[in-house]
Structure 1
């Protein structure tokens, strides 16, 4: 059975194990059902997630021109502390920026390869944690806008990491931590502007990923260099497909690629 579609990040549902779905225009593939099956992926062309043109993808599924212009690729996306919608100041599109920035945001700790601090919209919990491959996570603050969450992250990352080691995460070389204790240690570093939003009673969220076999030595699949790949699916974690022979494929990094996806056995 073969499907064709544009890659976007996998949709998820946090059940006893995370359920993963690859969504194309006319089809939805429940990837958990394909564990230990052989599948093939063929690169066809590019399709920018904004303009829809067959132009080389630059970042986040967008071609270079779109990435430089569209509001949902503004610098405040990666750097929440640069958000200015609460001041009624525009970056690229004030209406869009108000819609996204002026809603509840969560500052959190997630443990995937190590404990890291991060920021996301409240509506993206626990999706954000799943996408990062975190086996445990906890909310620290719930702020009314992105700016307050951003300046809090800036201060907290002076005391805890803000990046995930994707190699360690995929190898499952992890340790469980008491995140409630870790959250309390960071409380004193929260900026005065955001202290009232501290969540003293939030609880740790635990996440289980559908993995039959973790890789030992990672080899990344790059569809631009290798247009065709066939292999047996051994697991899914974060936004990665894990195949036999230590091959891993970052679906999110390949957004905007048109592929043929074939189930062989």
Structure 2
């Protein structure tokens, strides 16, 4: 859940195919997003359609689409990797085709709508994309779905929810810090970069939920370290790639 977590359709490199599980997961998540759009109602649904068209969210074949672009962060894959590594139950195969763990599918959808929630806010803050009131309402609807999907997998008393609160509170603070820095309100040094990266920390939540659901929370520190390094590398590359655009917008990077 970071800027340009998915990059399909932006002319930023060739698309690459994923393995069978990952392609099937992306196809299922996109199917679920289509179903969600049908529940949003006329006004929110129209806003979602605009977002999907702008991101080209539903373009490309399964495994070669928006979330599986070579430049995309593994938004959907992280919970799948954790769920399969720690042997989350799978349904019986149908016609010889392996089924995905239901836990991984729910958490991948949570990751997708959480990413879109962040993407709407990031585009509004960084580039002024969208009417603010409309952006806030669509973003809020997607966040509600994100939280509901996580709640399906974990009891209310799980220690995961302490992490959830910590991460999202830190995200808001980091977004405001980044906005101030874009406007020249402080040094763009290593410490500032570290603090701003908290805006990307929600990426860890669906995979962390898988760890807690599978009773493997002792691996959380390793997961956080991996996701933090991944997000930092991706952000540095994105800043370099979009330097001219940021300069034109007056955003310091």
Give TM-score scaled by structure 2 length.
Answer: 0.27
Structure with the bigger RCO (C-alpha within 8 Å, sep 6+) is: 1
Structure number with higher strand proportion: 1
Give TM-score scaled by structure 1 length.
Answer: 0.26
